[in-house]
Structure 1
Amino acid sequence: MIFSAKPNGLRRCVKELDTKPAGLHRSACSPWASCSSRASCSTRATALRSRPRQWQTPTYLMFLASVAFVGISIAVAPSHGLAADDVSYRQAMAEAVRATANHVLSSVVVVEVVGGTGGAEGEVEQDAPTSGVIVDKDGYVLASSIVVRRPSATILVVLPDGSRHAAEVVSKDEHRDLVLLKIKTDTELTPIPLPDQIDARIGQTTVAVGRYGIDASPLVSRGVLSGQERLDGIAIQADARVTASFYGGLLVDLYGNALGILIPAVAEGGAEADTDWYDSGIAFAIPLDVVKKNLARMRAGDNIKKGLIGIVAKSKDPYENQTELAAIRVRSPAEAAGLKAGDKVRAFNAKKVQRHQDVRLLLGKFDAGDTISIEVERDGKPLTFDVTLTDSIPPLQPQRLGVIAVDQAPAKTQDDDSEDEDSTDEDPAKQVVISEVITGTAADGKLEPGDIIQKIGVAEVDGVESLRRQMIAAEPGKAIELTVKRSEENQTITLTPDSIDSGVMTAIPKAWGEIKAKWSIKELKLPDAANVAAVLAPQNDAPVKQLGLMVLLMNPGEAAPKELLASWRDVAEKTGVVVCAVAAEDNQRWQPKEIEVISRFVASIQKTSAIEPMAVAVAAPGAISGAKAEAADSMALAVAMSASRTFYGVAVSAKTRPPAVRLRENDAEASLQVLLPIERNAEPPTWAPTLKKSGYPVVQAGDVDKETLLRWVRLLQAI
């Protein structure tokens, strides 16, 4: 039976899928299922999700338009070995998908980039065309931002009838990776209806629809809606497999209702570039109700950018049940509105929040220029602020006091000892105790080992992580007042912190020199990874704490990490830094997929050695003065930028060729610093100012040898 492409036809098809007899539902779940009634598989979505992957859908259902048949042809796989009910089920689903695609294809176009120059190498960057969606009869087309990633002579829109039209860029939604194009044509266009609210439900069947090639052939891939409020609240997610040609196309439900526009994106830290998850079974789409809300602004030529507020979370774990702020960014909307460090966020626009992940999801939906209401608790009292978000905040210029500090539980009083051992009260806040003052820093001569830092200004300091974030977000050149407890007395100490990029610190903490341990070099292997690696570290039974860790990437073609580490043994033992040497899988090049492998090596080492979490860096041989820049230097930068929650330092040659990764703003919650082996008065590489504008401190360290490099790694934990 062939169903029409009209909505009533879609409903008939879906209804048939949902009303199949029990035998079909039984076979649809699994060939080994034993359910005997339809109640055991109550919904079509459950049945689909339960089917073995190879039964759900072909990798792609490619549909070719035909002159003789104005519609779509679907090939049903051979039915050998399948029950009749299974064949009927698959035929019904194929017909439903076909009808769904036909219902929206008149609104889907091809977008071609002609005469592009520059850009990164790679299949996705070179693979024009992509798709677009007609959003009104005046010739406006929404596409993904991939079509404007690099300069081009012309952008062409290929309509469903095959006609080609030059397009101009009207505006961009940089927050959601969309671009609005405009064409001039006498052809009658069929815009996609833009709903006030989409009906997106987890588990429902979805269909990704695009077009490809000079004849605008349809492309279709099926999956289920697997997530909402992804990418910090802006996108919905489906498990349909989509190539770059689908970007800018539609995600539709099985009734033919358009849900969103497909974009290239990956979750934070998930890959080197936002096109790396194409054809992976993870597809993101911008909901059409959000598109409708912003379309008037975009038609007027306004570029839309993400709304920034300028708050820094105190908790390292975004899922912890607390929303206290560690710091407020300088010259930010939050500062202008009157928010302060120590405030506890309770609600945004009357929506309650319990953890910083809630804050992130709610804030992620807003654009620059939006005004939101924030309710906070300060000194036990509720306060409400109206904050207008902005599109830019002055970049971070991370500061430091020049101390190493540790979290320590407050000493118990006599009254504490008398309390019931089974008390369920929460543990008191940790004290931040200075264990070392580093020579030549702002703290030298003002702070002392044993000092307990209690406040910065009026903001309480209740953990090393909180103190670090406050310093990273501090205003450069501005004196601060510290309240410290010394010899049981409170003192106020005023000092002006140093900028991290003011120079490299090399004074190894005294405590390290008192520890003697035997070090050894061992081969390191990971399951499912072909990279050869070795690690130089204290033996497992050595009483060593707060080690640093440096991952040294070898240049392609070098494949003897154990021999390389032999030359690092003395300096590693002297500085207390574990060194892991990793060779490239391919003798000719490093590959983007190896970024994850390198992070896994770090996780493996952290399980067996007492690594200070912040004293972790990735480096290349070019970081040593006199060495030349090679492929390992570019890979080290790519690793550090892509795995910012793993690495807090990266050291490379000043002549490094920057990798093709998307540069994100440096984060006060996971600040990364860059070391270059050049003098402070030397001309920095052309890419260094770009890093600084994004908040990354670039340390021009002068003459760098192995010991200087490892001392720097060891002191990444300093505050």
Structure 2
Amino acid sequence: MLRSDSKLHCTRIRLSTSRFTLFFLIVGSLLAFSSLVDAAQNESKPSLIKLEEQAFQEAVATVSPSLVRIETVGGREVVQSQLTSTAASTGVVVSPDGYIITSSYHFLSKPSSIIVQLFDGRRFPAETVSQDEILKVTLLKIETGGLIVPPAVDAEEIKVGQWALALGKTYSAEVPNLSVGVVSALNRVWGKAVAQTDAKISPVNYGGPLVDIQGRVMGILVPLSPDDNTVQAGTDWYDSGIGFAVSFPTIQQHLDEMKTGKELKRGLLGVVVEKGETMGGPAAVEQVRFGSPAEDAGIGEGDVIVKINDLPIETQNDFKFAMGTRYAGETLQVGIKNKEETRTVEATLVDELLPYESGFIGILAERKSLGSAEPGIAVRYVYPDSPADQAGIKPGDRLIKFNEETIERSAQMEELIGSNIVDDEVDVVVLQNGEEQSLKLKLASKNKVSLPDELEPALVPALDPNALPEGFPKTGRLSEELEELKHRFWAYVPEDYNPDFPYSLLVWIHPAGQSMEAPMMKAFRAECDKRGIILLAPLAAEEEGWSNEEFEFIEELIETVRERYFIDPWRTVVFSTGDSSRFATQFVLRQPEQVAGLALSNSLILSRPPEPEPGLDLSFFLGAASDFQQQKQLEQVVEQLQNMKHEAILYKSESDSTTTFPEDLIERLCVWIDSLDRI
């Protein structure tokens, strides 16, 4: 028995050993197989990388004969406070007979000469032929032939996620610089960009091509921005992974037109769509520009745009996308809807919307009392060389008719003239020395009219201070709190205030931490009494200065004063200086219906005002001390305002900045206020 057990035990040991041997053989085989697989994979990885590199190289080789290097000489170094590019740039052959397309960004400086170097090293002088304002590309011409046009990709073939190679020739004339990425989005920037890429895009490759893995051109690289149409807009996304290419096939479609030298301009309809919290709201028309295609087509404020040609417009986003690539000269079928009907109108887009500019006869009218029964309006002052002066109109004459309509008050006359523009011919009837004179006047521009050297105050009869009715509004120096908004203000109302005549309103926005009440009263009191100006000075809640939350307070305060006193809306202005000028400017631009003008002392206007329109025509007075450091910039601001057809006056004081309110500046400012109701 012992032997048998021992034999059985040995058998079990041998069996167990065999199993372990088999196990290790299997594990070893698996490990060996795994090693072989890893080795095979490791051997395949370099080949995949090499294949990838080879594909990139072949794509570059395919398009390289069509790339050119562009050098510019001369031109402006700074454009709109931005340094212009002076480095070599890139272009792409677009026609065998010497035409080359590139980014317009490289020509901001308006260079005096352009040199193009071809793939084979030949160099040619080039001329600018045309520009496309929407796609922001420029067409150049060199005198040679036989150039190679690269293959193009139709927009329908471009897919998100595919390889995108951005090429440029800034660094080398022989070998293109290359940035590799993918197509990250399609039809961006309101349809202008056929593709968005995460490849690094910058002036290094602006004007160069964005190509696919086969070397076919998807588009031309340019800076773009959804919020700005200027040539340099979008350059702040330099190498950010957000770059754009405009469609190469689209450029080719417009090539014959560009070869003629025609500039391709952005098409303008002339409407402003209401801004909602998002772009998902309906495309409701908030404003129609004067003399625009929209106005000519009968589109009005409150209409909702529901279709552009065959494209349905459901949102503001849809509208911007539909208009993003429309050129001037295109005729659109615009579907509009209002409360009464849905209809389609035809509008031909233009490349420029001329600013509205109200016509000017050239007179100041006497202020008429509320109960006056005298016919027409009496002439107080005639501007030299104005249409009125040339027609022989004199102070003391009375205007009684304008284009067959009887005139009763100067505000009525201002509204009637507002429906006419510069160079319109109008008929007026003037009562002169007891006889009616019929005159034909050609309206002039008033945006550059100088202030009168001498302007006598308007005649306002004084009231008997002992016979004032009960409840007569307070006059003199006032200090109160607007209870609803818990804000204080002070004011000055001329002691001889007569509620039968309209007064000017000057709203003073004080600098941070100082109301300047005493110097303001000293500087303005005499002029307020002389010219019928009510001075209103809201006070900021905090020492640090004004906040945008206080716009409402000032609006309410102006309305409160208008309820108490007879205020002329055409002579309501805001005045400020120093660090509060920006706040004052923002308030005026936010409320053009509430004020007629903005006056600043030793300050620049840093925000662009809205375009003038009938009934909303802002005037500007910019004053400066003799030692103000930004005189040149101030002159440029006034010139820009006048080019926009705003009335703008620049006055340079004889005093330096040590005088807070120079006497000569205050006198000119108050004459400006007193003459804002000129006709």
Shorter-chain TM-score category?
Answer: 0.5 to 0.7
* Count of residue pairs brought into register by the alignment: 456
The one-letter code of the counterpart of 1:575 is P
After the TM superposition, which residues 551-700 of structure 1 pair with which residues of structure 2 at under 5 Å, given as runs? 565-567=512-514, 575-577=538-540, 609=549, 676-677=622-623, 685-694=635-644, 698=648
Does residue 1:143 correspond to 2:102, yes or no?
A: yes
User: Structure 2 matches for 1:180-195, cutoff 5 A?
Assistant: 180-185=139-144, 188-194=146-152
1:285 aligns with 2:245: yes
Q: CA deviation at 1:177?
A: 1.6
Distance change in 2, residues 1:702/1:113 (3 Å) = closer
Match of 1:394?
354
Distance in 2, matches of 1:698 and 1:165, equals: 48
- 1:302 matched to 2:262? The reply is yes
- Report the Cα distance in structure 2 between the residues aligned to 1:99 and 1:218, rounded to whole angstroms: 13
Secondary structure in structure 1 of the residue aligned to 2:211? strand
Report if aligned partners of 1:237, 1:284 keep a CA contact under 8 Å in 2: yes
| Alignment check: 8 A CA contact 2:90 2:205 kept | yes
1:323 aligns with 2:323: no
Which residue does 1:416 correspond to in 2?
none
Given residue 246 of structure 2, which amino acid in structure 1 is its aligned partner?
Answer: I
1:222 to 180, 185, 199: 180
SS at match of 2:169: strand
Distance 1:270 1:173 in 2: 12
8 A Cα contact 1:676 1:701, kept in partner: yes
Q: Summarize deviations over 1:371-413 as a string: whole Å, max 9, x none.
A: 11111123442211121101111125699xxxxxxxxxxxxxx
Do the aligned partners of residues 101 and 665 (structure 1) sit closer, same or farther apart at CA in structure 2, a change above 3 Å counting?
farther
Matched, 1:478 2:419: yes
The code of the aligned residue for 2:147 comes to L
Secondary structure in structure 1 of the residue aligned to 2:266 = coil
CA drift of 1:614 comes to 11
CA shift in 2, pair 1:109/1:125, >3 Å: same
Q: What is the letter of the counterpart of residue 341 of structure 2?
A: K
TM-score (norm 1): 0.51
- Tell me if structure 2 keeps the 8 A contact 1:136–1:192: no
What displacement does 1:315 show? Answer: 3.9
Cα deviations by residue, 1:672-703 (Å, 9 ceiling, x for unpaired): 99763269xx9972453334434777576999
* Partner in structure 2 of residue 311 of structure 1: 271
TM-aligned CA distance change 1:252 to 1:88, over 3 Å? same
Using the alignment, how far apart are the partners of 1:273 and 1:673 within structure 2?
Answer: 31
Tell me the equivalent position of 1:256.
Answer: 215
In 2: Cα distance, 1:613 partner to 1:96 partner: 67
Matched, 1:96 2:67: no
CA deviation string 1:440-489 (max 9, x = no partner): 9x9x999xxxxxxxxxxxxxxxxxxxxxxxxxxx998139xxxxxxxxxx
Say if 1:676 and 1:203 are closer, same or farther in 2 by CA, change over 3 A.
farther
Return the match for 2:342 from 374, 379, 382.
382
Identity of aligned residues (%): 25
What residue in structure 2 maps to residue 119 of structure 1?
Answer: 78
Query: What does 1:58-73 correspond to in 2, within 5 Å?
Result: none
Matched-pair contact (CA < 8 Å) for 1:549–1:611: no
Deviation at 1:220, TM superposition (A): 1.2
**What is the match of residue 599 of structure 1?**
none
Structure 1 gaps, min length 5: 1-81, 400-439, 447-473, 480-498, 504-508, 520-547, 553-563, 583-601, 616-622, 710-719
Output the aligned Cα RMSD: 5.7
Q: What's the TM-score once normalised by structure 2's chain length?
A: 0.54
Q: CA deviation at 1:211?
A: 0.9
1:162 alignment partner in structure 2: 121
Aligned partner of 2:190 among 229, 232, 235? 232
Higher relative contact order (CA 8 A, sep 6+): 1
Q: CA deviation at 1:361?
A: 1.3
Q: Could you tell me whether the CA contact under 8 Å between 1:198 and 1:287 is conserved in 2?
A: no
* 1:351 Cα deviation from its structure 2 partner: 0.8
The one-letter amino acid paired with 2:187 is E
Shift in CA distance, 270/369, structure 1 to aligned 2, threshold 3 Å: closer
- Displacement after TM superposition at 1:239 (Å): 2.1
Is 1:364 the counterpart of 2:338 in the alignment?
A: no
Shift of the 516–158 alpha-carbon distance from structure 1 to 2, 3 Å rule, reads same
Distance 2:620 2:45 in 1: 58
Query: Which segment drifts farther, 320-329 or 691-700?
Result: 691-700
The DSSP-based 3-state class of the residue aligned with 1:232 is coil
Q: Deviations over 1:118-172 (max 9, x none)?
A: 4349886143211111001100001111232223221011111222110011111
Q: Is the 8 A contact 2:330 2:348 kept in 1?
A: yes
- The aligned residue for residue 202 of structure 1 is 160
Paired residue type of 2:222: I
Q: Secondary structure at the match of 2:318?
A: helix
* Paired residue secondary structure (1:191): coil
- 1:176 equivalenced with 2:117 (yes/no): no
Measured in 2, the distance between the counterparts of 1:139 and 1:95 equals: 31
- 1:575-609 C-alpha deviation (Å, 9 max, x unpaired): 24578989xxxxxxxxxxxxxxxxxxx9xx76xx5
Distance of aligned partners of 1:196 and 1:107 in 2 relative to their CA distance in 1, 3 Å threshold: same
Residue of structure 2 equivalent to 1:495: none
Bigger radius of gyration among the two: 2
Corresponding residue for residue 492 of structure 1: none
Native 8 Å contact 2:309 2:334 kept in 1: yes
- Cα deviation for residue 246 of structure 1 reads 0.8
How far 1:221 moved relative to its partner? 1.1
Residues 265 and 277 of structure 1 are in contact (CA less than 8 Å); yes or no, is this contact kept in structure 2? no
Contact 2:104 2:231 in 1 (8 A): no
